[in-house]
Amino acid sequence: MPRNYKSLNVLVGTLVALAMVFGTLSVASAQHPAKKGVHLVIWDFFNQTPVNTPERVAMNKIAQQWAKKTGNTVTEPAQPANGSNNAFTADPHKAADIVMMPDDQAGADYGAKLVAPSKLQKSKYVASAVSGCTIKGHTFCYPWALEMVGLYYNKKLAPASLFKGKAYTWDKVAKWAHKFHAKTGKLGMVWQWDNFYYDYDFFTAYGGGALKHSSSGYTKKVLLDNRGSIRGLNYLKKVIDESGTPVSDWLSSNSNSGGYGAQLASGNAAIVLDGPWSDPTWRAAHLKYGFAPLPRDAQHKFGQPFLGVQTMVVNKFSKHVSAAQSLASYLSLHCELALFKAGARIPATKAALKKVSKNAELKQYSNGFKHSVPLPNVPFMSPIWSPAQKAIALTLQNNGSAAKNLKAAAAQARKAGA
């Protein structure tokens, strides 16, 4: 069954107090027998450069442990030039045995019948992770991290007091950012403005969003053009305009817009909306940064950002499906502490979460989880991303109203099959 809101409460409870003990596992269980002498290839989801990113090095170390114990070999993980999932869907018959990707992409690939089923030991994972890997009762991938966006700030530039209390609102942050920009010439607040994934908090604050959610999961009812979405996009535009940060410089059409995280690391930006995947960049820069869940809106209401799951899928067309399932299961259950240490990735297993639950940043994430919604892993989410992004970009550039642009986006999504 697709993810449901109740799973988020389970996650938060897990972060506070986990009592379950992580049982020992055989490397090649009866579920996934690993034949000796097999060679496997992994396409990962880490930064392509440098090749030896801390996360990739940590993942490879665990993979080689599995290889040594099973008598098999594993190529050092890497990411193709055009991205792991793009390369996988372009030609799955020539793709890697294991491909890492977010759960919404994994769900689309499951719908396209490109992935082999997974046999998760569900009791080992928090409920949100299991839900992200499940559609209509069938598990199809292996979770290795949870993720959600928030505001990261350079402690030397932005005061921690800005992000505390009921007065912590988007309007307050935008006002501070404008003053900071006027005084220093630096960016007070920035992210890729038209990225629907990042902007989702604004849409949901007023009852909008992507797809309607029911007790049995996400439905095909598109919400892009409802009153809540229109109001949310108008509020997003207001916040961005009031921040003083140029709009055109940070739209996806600008090739440099993806470098907002580096702006924080270099000291050219005080605040960015980002996720834990950028932590390695900031660590490499020895940046002292803080994290806060997204603020309230003008009416002091919380929006609901996406809670996503990073996963691994086994290529259905692999010549060694059983061995790949064994390796994916082993990585999923054994790599999470290493990836937390290497890149602050939020663990998806109960045992790993218990060991890091006192981490200050993770505690802040747990506060944010209370207000998050599951990232839709259903295939009919795919036609929504691009039209939504276009509608946001047009509106931010004063090219048509939010209502007009979102109506066109919703029509395009419905026509495409959402």
Residues 178 and 291 in one domain: yes
Report pLDDT digits (tens) over 292-322: 999 998 888 889 999 899 999 999 999 999 9
Rounded mean pLDDT, 361-383 = 82
Q: Which is higher by pLDDT, 100 or 283?
A: 100
Report pLDDT digits (tens) over 264-291: 999 999 999 999 888 888 888 899 999 9
Q: What is the pLDDT of residue 17?
A: 38
Q: What is the pLDDT of residue 136?
A: 85
Residues 330 and 345 in one domain: yes
Q: At what angle do helices 6-16 and 360-369 cross, to 10 degrees?
A: 160
Lowest mean pLDDT among 42-56, 115-129, 148-162: 42-56
Task: Give the bridge partners for 134, in sequence order.
Answer: 139
Residues 393 and 343 in one domain: no
Residues 251 and 335 in one domain: no
Report pLDDT digits (tens) over 231-271: 999 999 999 999 999 999 999 998 777 788 889 999 999 99
Query: How many domains does the chain fold into?
Result: 2
Per-residue pLDDT band for 1 (boundaries 50, 70, 90) equals: very low
This prediction has a pTM of 0.81
Per-residue pLDDT band for 418 (boundaries 50, 70, 90) equals: low
Cis-peptide into 50, omega within 30 deg: yes
Is it the case that residue 399 has pLDDT exceeding 80?
yes
* Domain extent at residue 363: 6-148+307-374
CATH of residue 40's domain is: 3.40.190.10
Give the closest residue to 376 by CA, choosing from 108, 88, 142: 108
Residues 123 and 29 in one domain: yes
Q: What is the pLDDT of residue 32?
A: 56
Domain annotation covers residue 1: no
Residues 337 and 386 in one domain: no
Name the CA dihedral angle for 183, 202, 287, 263, rounded to a multiple of 10 degrees. -60
Q: What is the pLDDT of residue 284?
A: 85
Q: What is the pLDDT of residue 28?
A: 45
Alpha carbon 249 to chain centroid, angstroms: 23
Which contiguous run of DSSP H or E holds residue 272? strand 269-274
Is it the case that residue 368 has pLDDT exceeding 80?
no
Signed CA dihedral, 45, 312, 91, 198: sign only: negative
Rounded mean pLDDT, 101-120 = 93
